[in-house]
Amino acid sequence: MTETWIIVGATSSIARAFARSCAARGVELHLLGRDMPELKRLAADCTLRGAASAKAVAFDARKPEKFEDIIDDAAQSSSILNAAVFVGSMPAQSAIDANPSLIDGVIQDSFTGPARLLQLLAPVLEERGSGTIIGVGSVAGDRGRIGNYVYGAAKAGFATYLSGLRNRLGRAGAHVVTVKPGFVDTAMTWGIEGMFLVASPEDIATSLIKAADKKRNVIYTPFFWRYIMLIIRSIPEFIFKKLSV
Amino acid sequence: MRWKKDELRGWGGALTMEAELARPERQTALTDTLAETPCPAIGARRSYGDAAIARHAIDMTRLDRLISFNAETGLLDAEAGVTISDILNTFAPKGWMPAVMPGTGFATLGGCIAHDVHGKNHQLAGSFGQHVESVLLMGPDGKTQRISLKSKPKLFRATIGGLGQTGIIMSARLHLAKCPAGNMAVHERRIEDLDSFLEAFNASRADYQVGWLDMTAKDTHLGRGILEEAHFASGPFVPSKKSRAVPFYLPGFAMSTPIVKAFNWLYTKRIPEAGRDRERPLHKFFFPLDTIQHWNRLYGKRGFHQFQCVLPDDEAPATLALMLEAVASSGLASPLSVLKRLGHGRGGMMSFPMEGYTLAVDIVNKPSAKALLARLNELARNAGGRVYLAKDSSLEAGYLPAMYSELEDFRAEASKADPEDAFETALVKRLNIRGQA
């Protein structure tokens, strides 16, 4: 049975690596994002790397009125329908502190936008009784930190949403994987001081494919971030509030 | 664009510089970066010396997409950051491969063009640049143009092997060659001394040839080693697996003379006296060192130099003997020493190949290495030979005009394309390649 993957936020580093891994498996790809020329480049690349088809689709997390058409189009294919969500935005916390209206955009990009898209996809998967959704959250969502608590809050919201969606779709035979990557070597982290144990997008993509194949529920990737976050979560609040980790 | 402060090291690790790096992931990010700070592009950083070192540089490795492929003609269009092994892994199952492959699959398309690299089949296939149909080049002003040997012969020949001096290679169209099989039939045999080696090369009709030299051997054993001859065998292509890595820099004594001698002895004895035949998967034959990631750490933190020169046929026997003696008596030899035949094929004004023999030797970066390298460079120049700039860390600027006869033409083209010298690298400055007074 062939597969179709809707990749939301496809031009990000991890999404690109993931799309290529999918392409090598001969799937049909719907590559969603804002940067049309880049999406087209990626589509050509994925086709040459073995994708059955690859289509660039305009998507803006802040324009939900377009979502229905996007899902309808992907649902035309009779193959197993899947989605992987990589969108999110992380302006510097200091920029948000100076201009609180930025919060709305972060929440839309990282949480409510993708949630509204998945909300439209969910009934399709329920009806078909198959399919996998990979939702990429972040370790930043595990605890609010001084450095990026708005982004963290959005990702935490998204993780909670995914947990509920898993509960819902699991009953119908579809599956939801929540992924929490640690530091990944992407344009978002390039040149930021204090990065450590940085993983390559290719390694993350491989772990996503594995997690989807094995129907894992929540994964940290690379795996050791589960333990790092376990420690961070277990720091009592009266101490944590004084830290700037 | 955010710039990352990082130490740039040549693959040999002997030359380093604190640098600021941009790494665009989109075409627009590349344009914006160049507009902000015009500076040279770098790829996989597999050149040994300072060819990929500059105060500011644009890392092209994330611009690595395949753009189009014509399955009839084998013409591939791809972004400069795509690696050779990526091309091989993607197209070998469809029956195509790069006609020329350097010794590492990690090298990028852009890097292979900028150094006009060669492979073990140079006599047969020529250099990498001779298979490039056209290059999409971005000037320091951000303007792009597609150049080919037909449309812009001078600029094209200054770009092939041009060390990135004519502009940023954004993408290129490359003629792939037919890939007849997934395995190479490799014949290996021991060679007793230098004369026998040169004779064996002359007599060989194999498509692919490479010689390994035991650089610790002296006197009557001078120039002994192993000759590998290969042609395509049969079998399906199997992509490379993820390789193991050297996790940290080894201590300095790992490359001391007794250890190198012991290694070389074992390495030679592996091959039975009568020689042996075996089939090797393509990536194991073409990229033997890629099996171990970060193998350069075996030399320790101080790193090593690689000296590679090519010598014309008539001077080669005498000069090679002098070079081997100089290395053997220095105690700085490492197990990685290669002797190959080169043909006359070259794609650009600053291309390395010339008809003759090429010797490549890794030399541990100890204080005494300087004198040895100076001696080797001098020998190469006296013999009418040429030192490979992709490897170099020690050449004297004064030797350059004699070794690279089209240097003046190159300087003129590079200055036209890049009047402000925005694309100068540490190598280009060190050897005054652009020709400032």
pLDDT value, residue B287: 94
**Domain-located, residue B237:** yes
**Domain-located, residue B418:** no
Examine the domain organization and report whether B168 and B191 are in the same domain: no
Examine the domain organization and report whether B166 and B197 are in the same domain: no
Interatomic CA distance for residues A74 and A117, integer angstroms: 12
- A45 closest CB neighbour out of B23, B28, B65: B65
Mean pLDDT of B260-286: 93
Which of B90, B240, B241 best tests the A interface by mutation, with the highest count of A CBs <10 A? B90
Closest Cα in chain B to A195: B4
Q: Are residues B26 and A35 in contact, defined by beta-carbon separation less than 8 angstroms?
A: yes
Interatomic CA distance for residues B382 and B400, integer angstroms: 12
Examine the domain organization and report whether B236 and B114 are in the same domain: no
Mean pLDDT of B227-246: 88
Q: Which two tokens stand for residue B211?
A: 């010689």
Mean pLDDT of B331-345: 92
The last residue of a domain, from among B180, B195, B220: B180
**Domain-located, residue B35:** yes
Interatomic CA distance for residues A7 and A53, integer angstroms: 13
Examine the domain organization and report whether B10 and B151 are in the same domain: no
Examine the domain organization and report whether B104 and B252 are in the same domain: no
Interatomic CA distance for residues B191 and B206, integer angstroms: 16
**Domain-located, residue B426:** no
Helix (H) / strand (E) containing B132 = strand B132-138
pLDDT tens by residue, B10-19: 999 999 999 9
Mean pLDDT of B406-433: 97
pLDDT tens by residue, B55-65: 999 999 999 99
Instruction: ipTM value, please give it.
Output: 0.92
The DSSP result for B278-307, as a single string, is EEEEHHHHH-GGGGEETGGGGG-TT-EEEE
CATH number, residue B276: 3.40.462
- A44 closest CB neighbour out of B3, B5, B67: B67
Point out the residues of chain A with pLDDT beneath 50. Answer: none
Q: Which amino acid is at A151?
A: Y
pLDDT value, residue B154: 98
B410 vs B235: which has the higher pLDDT: B410
Q: Which residues contact A8 (CB under 8 A, 6 or more apart)?
A: A15, A32, A33, A59, A83, A84, A85, A86, A87, A114, A117
pLDDT tens by residue, B354-383: 999 999 999 999 999 999 999 999 999 999
User: What are the residue ranges of helices labelled H in chain A?
Assistant: 13-24, 36-48, 67-75, 93-98, 102-107, 113-128, 149-170, 201-213, 225-234, 237-240
pLDDT at B180 over 70: yes
Examine the domain organization and report whether B155 and B212 are in the same domain: no
Would you call A34 an interface residue with chain B, using a CB distance cutoff of 8 Å? no
Mean pLDDT of B329-339: 90
pLDDT at B211 over 80: yes
**Domain-located, residue B423:** no
Q: Which residues contact B404 (CB under 8 A, 6 or more apart)?
A: B349, B350, B386, B410
Residue contact A35–B4, C-beta within 8 A: no
Examine the domain organization and report whether B113 and B236 are in the same domain: no
The sign of the torsion formed by the CA atoms of B113, B115, B120, B124 equals positive
The alpha carbon of residue B167 is apart from the nearest alpha carbon of chain A, in Å, by: 22
Which one, of B214, B212, B211, lies nearest residue B201 by Cα? Answer: B211
**Domain-located, residue B85:** yes
Would you call A48 an interface residue with chain B, using a CB distance cutoff of 8 Å? yes
The alpha carbon of residue B69 is apart from the nearest alpha carbon of chain A, in Å, by: 7
Examine the domain organization and report whether B115 and B249 are in the same domain: no
pLDDT at B436 over 80: no
Q: How many residues does chain A have?
A: 245
Mean pLDDT of B405-432: 97
Give me the domain span that covers residue B28: 4-59
pLDDT tens by residue, B276-320: 999 999 999 999 988 888 989 988 889 999 999 999 999 999 999
pLDDT value, residue A118: 98
pLDDT at B224 over 70: yes
Which chain B positions have a beta carbon within 8 Å of A37's beta carbon? 27-28
Residue contact A48–B5, C-beta within 8 A: no
Examine the domain organization and report whether B395 and B290 are in the same domain: yes
Would you call A35 an interface residue with chain B, using a CB distance cutoff of 8 Å? yes
The last residue of a domain, from among B20, B38, B59: B59
Domains belonging to chain A, first-starting first, are: 3-240 (3.40.50.720)
Residue contact A44–B27, C-beta within 8 A: no
Half-sphere exposure of B403 (CA within 13 A, CB side): 28
Examine the domain organization and report whether B141 and B260 are in the same domain: no
Interatomic CA distance for residues A226 and A10, integer angstroms: 26
pLDDT band at B229 (very low <50, low <70, confident <90, very high): very high
- pTM to 2 decimal places: 0.95
Distances in Å between the Cα of B9 and the Cα atoms of A172, B52, B143, B216, B363 are 54, 8, 30, 28, 16
Residue contact B65–A44, C-beta within 8 A: yes
Examine the domain organization and report whether B168 and B248 are in the same domain: no
The last residue of a domain, from among B59, B74, B106: B59
Q: B27-36 and A36-48 helices cross at what angle (nearest 10)?
A: 120
Mean pLDDT of B230-259: 86
pLDDT value, residue B334: 83
Which chain A positions have a beta carbon within 8 Å of B68's beta carbon? 44, 48
Interatomic CA distance for residues A239 and A245, integer angstroms: 11
Which of B1, B32, B65 best tests the A interface by mutation, with the highest count of A CBs <10 A? B65
Residue contact B4–A45, C-beta within 8 A: no
Phi and psi at B226, nearest 5°, equal: -130, 135
Which chain B positions have a beta carbon within 8 Å of A44's beta carbon? 65-68
pLDDT at B151 over 80: yes
Number of domains forming the structure of chain B: 3
The DSSP result for B244-270, as a single string, is EE--SPPPGGGG-HHHHHHHHHHHHHT
- Collapse the DSSP code of A114 into the 3-class scheme (helix H, G, I; strand E, B; otherwise coil) and give the result: helix
pLDDT value, residue B248: 87
pLDDT value, residue B324: 96
Examine the domain organization and report whether B260 and B365 are in the same domain: yes
